[in-house]
């Protein structure tokens, strides 16, 4: 199976988000070029100064067509379930391919590589685009660069290209997902021995702020106006993390940080909540940064594109998911779905895997979709 061979090769690249994805990008560029794609590269340095590469490729003439969107980075694998092989040493057992990224989402990339090579340039009456971004797992910076700089992406928007975000959905058609907002509040003090008055404990300003945040959390978990029953869970998933830099129990903290990750949903305006966070931070003298990583994703489930996708996939109805994708950045593309092999339940786990059957079915489905939207 070609998809399995590609997936094993891709898993073998350690493309954890904090590392450069240059090696896996070089491999993918070689494969895409070999199979008739013209490749555009968008390079940038991430926040740590690490080189990252986005690939935007095109095969075929005409306008419109279909775009497949993916990412090459993976989450860290600091723990792995076995010592027999590492997270970046692909292994097959129980009709599964194990390895970091096998499910999210190198297995999906492998399926589209195998599907795309089935079509010669002359067969494609409308173009097939193949996007591979960096940093999807850490804030969608790669996708943002594509939107800002890619000529082929702008061509897709102008010509009404349809898009498949190839994240793992067990080959269910997904018409909506949540967005991503990062909020970071920082309190600053002064380190000192707690037996003296030389220090200023940064946590003291953070505590009343946390009380305000807890009130917001309780509200969004219980009040219907902040919820959307089309999702499971139907809430904003307002996650709160707190840490300080105290080096010992008898040393005052010079810095206290509260990090929040919020998942906004279609049709719900969270700006009043953000304003309350801003007011509380200002009232208690905290520094505040807010990063809108990705927007909520929504396409009318009754639209022609979604309904055609359902017919091709032999599914009765489309679904929603609670995670985010690059689709929340590619907002200018009107017709798009999330659709890919593998289950999100296996993504990011200590024994990440994808079923071999999903690789086979994923290749079959992607080929069917390319034929439908690019060859007629």
239 shares a domain with 141: no
Per-residue pLDDT at 376 exceeds 90:
no
206 shares a domain with 69: no
- Angle formed at CA 352 by CA 350 and CA 354, multiple of 5 degrees: 165
Last residue of some domain: 242, 272, 294? 294
- Nearest Cα to 323, choosing from 221, 237, 260? 237
148 shares a domain with 71: yes
pLDDT in tens, 41-82: 999 999 999 999 999 999 999 999 999 999 999 999 999 999
Query: What is the band of 208 on the pLDDT scale with cuts at 50, 70, 90?
Result: very high
Output the domain CATH number for residue 233.
3.30.70.360
Output the domain CATH number for residue 341.
3.40.630.10
Entry pTM? 0.94
312 shares a domain with 201: no
Last residue of some domain: 294, 327, 352? 294
Q: Structural domain tally of the chain?
A: 2
* Percent of the chain scoring above 90 in pLDDT: 99
pLDDT in tens, 229-279: 999 999 999 999 999 999 999 999 999 999 999 999 999 999 999 999 999
Query: Which DSSP helix (H) or strand (E) runs through 71?
Result: strand 66-71
Last residue of some domain: 294, 329, 360? 294
303 shares a domain with 289: no
Burial class (CB in 10 A: 0-12, 13-18, 19+), 225: exposed
At a CB cut-off of 8 Å and minimum separation 6, what does 158 contact? Answer: none
Burial class (CB in 10 A: 0-12, 13-18, 19+), 84: exposed
358 shares a domain with 253: no
pLDDT value, residue 65:
98
pLDDT value, residue 100:
98
- Nearest Cα to 348, choosing from 45, 100, 111? 100
State the helix-helix crossing angle for 271-283 and 203-222, rounded to 10 degrees. Answer: 160
150 shares a domain with 233: no
Show the domain range for 242. 180-294
Pair 169, 339: CB distance under 8 Å? yes
């Amino acid at each position: 199976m070609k998809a399995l061979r590609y997936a094993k090769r891709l898993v073998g690249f350690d493309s954890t988000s904090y590392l450069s994805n240059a090696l896996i990008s070089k491999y993918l560029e070689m494969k895409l070029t070999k199979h008739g794609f013209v490749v555009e590269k968008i390079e940038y340095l991430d926040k740590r100064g690490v080189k990252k590469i986005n690939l935007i490729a095109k095969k075929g003439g005409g306008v419109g067509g279909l775009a497949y969107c993916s990412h090459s980075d993976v989450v860290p694998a600091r723990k792995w379930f076995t010592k027999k092989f590492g997270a970046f040493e692909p292994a097959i057992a129980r009709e599964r391919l194990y390895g970091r990224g096998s499910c999210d989402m190198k297995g999906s990339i492998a399926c589209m590589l195998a599907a795309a090579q089935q079509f010669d340039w002359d067969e494609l009456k409308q173009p097939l685009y193949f996007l591979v971004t960096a940093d999807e797992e850490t804030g969608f910076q790669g996708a943002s660069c594509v939107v800002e700089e890619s000529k082929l992406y702008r061509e897709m928007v102008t010509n009404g290209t349809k898009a498949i975000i190839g994240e793992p959905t067990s080959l269910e058609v997904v018409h909506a997902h949540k967005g991503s907002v990062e909020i970071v509040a920082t309190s600053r003090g002064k380190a000192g021995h707690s037996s003296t008055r030389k220090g200023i404990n940064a946590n003291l300003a953070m505590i009343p702020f946390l009380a305000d945040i807890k009130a917001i959390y309780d509200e969004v978990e219980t009040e219907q106006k902040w919820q959307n029953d089309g999702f499971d869970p139907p809430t904003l998933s307002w996650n709160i993390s707190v840490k300080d830099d105290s080096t010992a129990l008898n040393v005052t903290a010079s810095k206290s940080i509260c990090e929040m990750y919020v998942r906004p949903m279609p049709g719900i305006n969270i700006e009043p909540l953000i304003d309350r966070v801003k007011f509380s931070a200002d009232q208690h003298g905290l520094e505040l940064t807010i990063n809108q990583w990705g927007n909520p994703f929504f396409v009318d489930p009754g639209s022609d594109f979604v309904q055609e996708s359902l017919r091709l996939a032999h599914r009765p109805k489309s679904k929603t998911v609670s995670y985010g994708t690059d689709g929340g950045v590619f907002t200018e593309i009107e017709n798009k779905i999330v659709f890919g092999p593998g289950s999100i339940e296996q993504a990011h786990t200590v024994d990440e895997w994808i079923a071999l059957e999903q690789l086979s079915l994923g290749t079959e489905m992607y080929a069917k979709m390319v034929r439908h939207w690019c060859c007629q």
